[in-house]
Amino acid sequence: MPKITIDDLEIEAKDGQTVIQAALEHGLDIPHYCYHPDLPIDGNCRMCLVEVEKMPKLTPSCTTVCGEGMKVTTNNERVKMAVRGVLEFLLINHPVDCPVCDQAGECRLQDYYMVYGLHTSEIAMDMKVHKRKVVDLGEMVVLDQERCVLCSRCIRFFDHVTGTGEMQFFGRGDHTVIGTIDDRPLDNPYSGNVVDICPVGALTSRDFRFKCRVWFLNSTDSVCGGCSTGCNVRVDHRDGNLFRLLPRRNIEVNKSWLCDEGRLSFHELENGERLHRPMVKGEDGMQAPVKWSDALRAIDVNLKDCRQAFGANAILGLASASATNEALFLFKEYLKEQIGTAQLEFRLDHEDQKVTEKEDDILRHTDKRPNSMGAIKLDLMSRDLNGLDGALAAARDGRLKAGVIIWFKPLVRRDGDEQIEAKVAELINALQYSVVFTTHKTTWLKDANVVLPVTAWSEEEGTYTNYQGRVQKIGRAIRPKGDALPLWEAFAMLLETSGSKRLWLSAAEVFAGMSETIPAYQGIALEQTRLPGALVTA
């Protein structure tokens, strides 16, 4: 553990750490383009030059390993002059089209120019080398070759992370350009990541570009809802609308990456009409809007009548592994403790087996639900029913009479999703009394006795437990429309309606209750579920 001094700050570096790594870890910024913590070091841009005592020349901090007693200066006139020189070279042929560039506001060339550059260009616009603009690189990425600073981050991403090697430099000298052979589209499932790592406006997102200037966006930390990996994301939003998902670095889960399907998964919420009001079926067989309190009272009375007539185990609780731990915990509290049924399930399609099954060697898992491990830890697996198929069979042969069903459509879709949804619809049809908590309108909801609108991904707080058993906090980015409630709150109200003594007033309180009573979560405080998350016990 060498001790080094950077600008009068004494720090203890890790063995083998480079100067830039030690500096960034201790909150000191050194300008850089080509260095990226999750890519191999290349040392090509020369922006990270620093002065090291007893070294005659300035040295790149991204390639210089910390040594005991090293004294590093990052901000004296000599260093600043060198960085300004690098910037001046980079800007010789740059189009300086910031007013029409989608990267403006989060561009390292702009930022560093304001701190280190501030020079007047000696090069007239008509002397600049021009390159291609708005090059189509497939579904995710648009390329502007003139803005590239040739840092090679994108090349190293495709060479070392996906191993697909699509991008490379072509030409020589000031005619060097970045691109793919014959403009072939980037069609690997992780291509969107190069937009995040490109430090300038050379690679922009086809999905997000020109939708909103970045300084108008608000950001909320959360976790992707697209599969059991649980990649950490930043949700960018404005005025109640979601604009984009960006990765948040968590070296234990997703490093700095997201898959493309997860990145775009929030658009799935825009498909279809949202449910705004609780609906209860009247004696005429038609659903009509009611107040939440009336709907919950009707549910509690009907389920207790059903228990009286047929026994508690005639009542099914079918949860969804897209729900938070907090919602699943209160779902169980109500159905097990208040109603007394043991018929609790969450498996629509063998999620208990798929949860740790990899779809590739980078991030993706086969299970497209974000909280299957949470449902497993809460033991929502009926030995009797053994999943949706068993529940459907039991409803058809009359063993199950009533059901409380949580239905969320998956944010990342796969073949077979329609069949699963059709089985849920069939299940509702086969039950004498059914209650559905869901987000969007679907045709089959007309068969349910009660339909309740709940918040979707990004609209509520809580936690998910990923495939590793890592509990991670999700954030509320936007407010739901209409009367939709967070699922945990709907079950908290149902528990109160049913006469439960304990009141649950916030998602944080529910988490505390869960960690008191569920062995896997014992001793975990909500604070620990922030980056990098807390591991549940086996």
Binding region for ligand SF4 (CB under 6 A): 148-154, 178, 198-200, 202-203, 224, 226-227, 229-231, 254, 258-259, 261-262, 363-364, 412
In this complex, which beta carbon is closest to ligand FES, that of residue 21 or of residue 250?
21
| DSSP string over 148-167 | -----HHHHHHHHTS----E
Given a contact cutoff of 8 angstroms between Cβ atoms, the answer to whether 258 and 191 are in contact is: no
Among residues 86 and 253, whose Cβ is nearest to ligand FES? 86
User: Contact with ligand FES (CB under 6 A): which of 19, 23, 45, 79?
Assistant: 45
Residue nearest to ligand SF4 (CB): 262
Name which position in 13, 21, 35, 469 contacts ligand FES (CB under 6 A): 35
Alpha-carbon distances, residue 51 vs 21, 28, 31, 57, 496 (angstroms): 16, 15, 14, 7, 66
Q: Which does 62 bind (CB under 5 to 8 A by kind): ligand FES, ligand SF4, none?
A: ligand FES
The torsion angles phi and psi of 452, rounded to 5 degrees, stand at -120, 130
- What is the identity of the amino acid at 80? K
Beta strands in 430-520 (DSSP E): 433-438, 450-453, 462-465, 470-474
Is the dihedral angle over the CA atoms 41, 42, 47, 52 positive or is it negative? Answer: positive
Closest among 239, 246, 245, 234 to 216, alpha carbons compared:
239
Q: Distance between CA atoms of 244 and 236, rounded to whole angstroms?
A: 5
Q: Position of tokens 């998956």?
A: 410
46 binds ligand FES (CB under 6 A): yes
| Least spacing, CB of residue 269 vs ligand SF4, in Å | 14
19 binds ligand FES (CB under 6 A): no
Choose the contact partner of 195 out of ligand SF4, ligand FES, none; CB within 5 to 8 A by kind.
none
d(CA 111, CA 95): 16
- Residue 153: CB minimum distance to ligand SF4, A: 4
Window 57-76: residues binding ligand FES (CB under 6 A): 60, 62
Among 39, 47, 79, 155, binds ligand FES (CB under 6 A): 47
CB of 459 to ligand SF4, least distance (A): 17
User: Between residues 77 and 270, which has the closer beta carbon with respect to ligand SF4?
Assistant: 270
CA-nearest of 81, 34, 40 to 60 is: 34
Q: Which of 2, 24, 38, 43 binds ligand FES (CB under 6 A)?
A: 43
**What span, in angstroms and rounded, lies between the C-alpha atoms of 276 and 440?**
9
Binding status of residue 33 toward ligand FES by CB under 6 A: yes
Contact 302, 308 (CB under 8 A): no
* Minimum separation from the CB atom of position 370 to ligand SF4 (A): 7
199 binds ligand FES (CB under 6 A): no
Task: Report in angstroms how near the CB of residue 456 gets to ligand FES at its nearest.
Answer: 40
What one-letter code names the amino acid at 513? Answer: G
Identity of the residue, 229 or 458, whose beta carbon is nearer to ligand SF4 in the bound complex: 229
Stretch that binds ligand FES, among 41-49, 72-80, 114-122, 384-392 (CB under 6 A): 41-49
Which of ligand FES, ligand SF4, none does residue 480 bind (CB under 5 to 8 Å by kind)? none
Q: Is 34 in the site for ligand FES (CB under 6 A)?
A: yes
Quick one: which of 418, 335, 419, 344 has its CA closest to 387? 344
Q: Decide: residue 56, CB within 10 A, 0-12 exposed, 13-18 middle, 19+ buried.
A: exposed
Binding site for ligand FES (CB under 6 A): 32-35, 43-48, 60, 62
